[in-house]
Every structure is written in structure tokens, then in C-alpha cells.
Amino acid sequence: MRQGAPVSSLQINKEEGRVLSTNKIYVPPDGKIGIPEMVEDFKNYMPKTGRTKKPVLHISLNPHPDDVLSDSDLANIASEYLDKLGFGEQPYIIYKHTDIERHHIHIVTVNVNEQGKRLNMDFIHRRSKKATTEIEEKYNLHKAERQRLDPDTPLRRVDYNAGDVKRQVANNVKLIMSRYSFRTMGEYNAVLSLYGLTSEETNGRVNGREYHGIVYSVLDENGRKIGNPFKASRLGKFTSLNAVHEKINRSEQKITPETVAKTRRRVAQALNESHSKEEFIAALKERNIDLVLRYTEDGRIYGATFIDHDTHPVLNGSRLGREYAANALNERFSGDNEVSRTPDIVESTNPDNDTNQSQEQQTSTNTAPTQQHQDSGNDYDYSLPGLDLFQLSPTVDADEEDFKRRMKRKKKRGQRPKF
């Protein structure tokens, strides 16, 4: 059983989640919990003063797909887990989510007592591991298999339906950052796209303060975004915009003329023996090189990026030479382009695309928190940090909102991202 890291926001879908258990939080007989009342219950246990900036704690527990557990079992597991961490007497709510193939539990509680004193959070991850191990043994559950990332760990495309998406995204970004060299954000996005990801820089102002960041989104097989984006702050410092820029600076010295020449020789060989775009992509794949192409709405190639999996440089076609740039490839393969393509579709080979999914039948009753006063945003508020967890729609996020605005502007101006 895997414990997810605390997060800052969570979407509760009334058709895909239901409350399993609560403590010190009132639940009406019909099981439909009003969000304003639930928020007030949590606030009643909060001190009026205190220095703890984030008193609300959110934890996710993810049993193995092969573990057959009833709702009662899941509620007992979550309660025992809280007892072992010393949170058993705190106000909390436990609910089950079925928004992915694998059912999982979310726990919302508070880490301060009524006097405003912070509960013991020392060695919390170590204590959590000990608690989950004991619970696994007691209930005869599959043990959590922590993936160890090393230089030889294979990269696989993010499988959105397999669950634990945040962990998949973080692992892939970490491996890409450590393994590949790139000199532009476009080249970074090219290699990300091979593994079902894309990134977008975000800039703006919130409450008078400037912010600069990056968000990551999962892509489907057609190159379109799935679900909500992940802020780098949720994935780890190694995914931050500063980390990416530092990697770009290091890559300037690492991608030497000799490195480029090695890739160019193999690309030239593949191009010389190819009569179509498909043959070219296949010939490159035989040489362990992937090609990411970008298209305009009328099917014209306007971006070409080569990813060499042997020496690990990510190279815009023009860096290899004029004959490998987007314009040259478009002229050479103009008869192969499909007019129906959209700018967001990526043409590439998909390495290690393992899409094994657990197929569980899902049944759910509508007993998740229900939002009241939907027409008025002023009837209650989520001013206490963490209580935005109970919103039925995603919490407003400055990075994500800026991301959406920029995408709209690009559509209006007809701009295209470049590789």
C-alpha cells in the first residue's frame, strides 16, 4: 500500500467519490455532506491564533489493484493509520475515490490541536512507512514496491488510467532531466512528449507579487492534454523552472560538436535510405533515434527535433544542418503530410508504451460532499489553508489560470510552439 505525498488541492467529483468515515465531523443521515457545514466543523477545531501556516493535512493511501477490500476495510485501514501517526483523535474525514481504475483513499485532517500547538510531525515519512508496513502485514496486503530510479531505469510513457499519475510524472521528469541534454524549452518539450508529457512556463502577478514557474501536463496518444496540470512545486525541486534553466545552461557545454556529429551521421544514413516519412522514422528508430514533428493546420511540418537515445542529446533539426531542418523535411516528404493534422498532434515513435491496466468494475453511490449555494461565491469561504480540498471544482491556481490565458492568446494570434 502506497502513501501519497500531501498535496494542496483536490477535486472531489460527486459521482466518483464517497465518504467512508469521519471523526468530529457531522454527517447527515442521508450521507450527503454540505461543504459549508463541513468547512465550519473543521474551523471549529482550529485555534483562533497560531503560527502553523498549513494546519490542514491531506494524505492519500493507494492499495494495490489486486487487494480486494470492502469500504469497511478501507475505513478501518485509514483509521488505524491515523492512530499509528497520533492523529486518531483529530477531526478527520475519510473518503474513497474511483476516478481512476484503482480505488484509493483520501484523508483530510488537521495537524494542530485546539490550543494551536502543532502535532508531532517529526520523522513523519519514516513513521508513515512503519505504519503502512504494519497494516500490510495485518491485512495481508501486497507490499508497496518503491521504484528505485537509477541511470538504467527504463523510461515509459505516462499511463493516465493506471493511477498514481503524479508519481509517474515526477519519475519521468527526473529521469529525463538526468539523462538528456537540451538547449531550449522546445527541445525539452520534444523529449517530454515521447513519454506523454508537456511543460508550459507560467508568468504573472498574484496579489501584487510576480511569479515565474512551470506546469506539466499529461498527453494522450494524439498529443492532447489530459486532466489538470501539475505545478512543479508539487513534483519536486528537480522539475522547477530554475532547475530546467540550469540544465539548459549545463547542456550548452555538454552538447559538443563531436556529439552533434555522431548523431548527424546516423540521421544522414537513415535519410539516405528512406523514400517516405514513415521509412525515415523507422530507419531512425533502428538507430535508437526518435523524431518529433510538429504540424500546422494544413499539414505542413514546421518543427523537427531529433532525440538520440544513445548519446542523449536532444537536437532541433537545424542544429544538425539545413537538410534536416523542418522546411527541408517538409519539402522532401510533402506528399506524406496529412491535411487534417492540427498543431497539437505529435508524430513520433512511442518507446516502451506499456498500457497494461487493471480492469475493475466500479460501483459508487452518490454520497460525496455536495456543494450548496452554488450561485453565490460569498456564502462561505476557504480562507483556512487546505480547506479548498472540499471544492467540487479544481481550486483556482495562478499558474494554471495563466497557462489557460496564454493558450487562448496563442490561438488568437495563430502562434505556434517551436522545436
Q: pLDDT of 210-246, one tens digit each?
A: 778 999 999 998 889 988 888 898 888 899 999 999 9
Mean pLDDT confidence for 197-206? 85
CA–CA dist 120, 111 (Å, integer): 8
In the sheet that holds 2-4, the strands lie side by side as 2-4, 56-62, 104-110, 92-97, 17-23
Mean per-residue pLDDT over the chain, rounded: 75
Measured between its terminal Cα atoms, the distance across the chain in Å is 41
Give the pLDDT score at 20: 87
Choice among 164-178, 309-323, 328-342, 360-374 with the minimum mean pLDDT: 360-374
Q: Which of 20-34, 51-65, 236-250 has the highest mean pLDDT?
A: 236-250
> Is the pTM value of this prediction over 0.75?
no
For residue 344, which phi and psi values (nearest 5 degrees)? Answer: -90, -5
* pLDDT given at position 369: 36
Report whether pLDDT(158) > 90: yes
Question: Which has the higher per-residue pLDDT, 210 or 261?
Answer: 261
Weakest mean pLDDT among 33-47, 149-163, 215-229, 260-274: 33-47
Taken in order 224, 351, 167, 133, the sign of the CA dihedral is: positive
pLDDT value for 115? 73
Of 343 and 241, the one with more pLDDT: 241
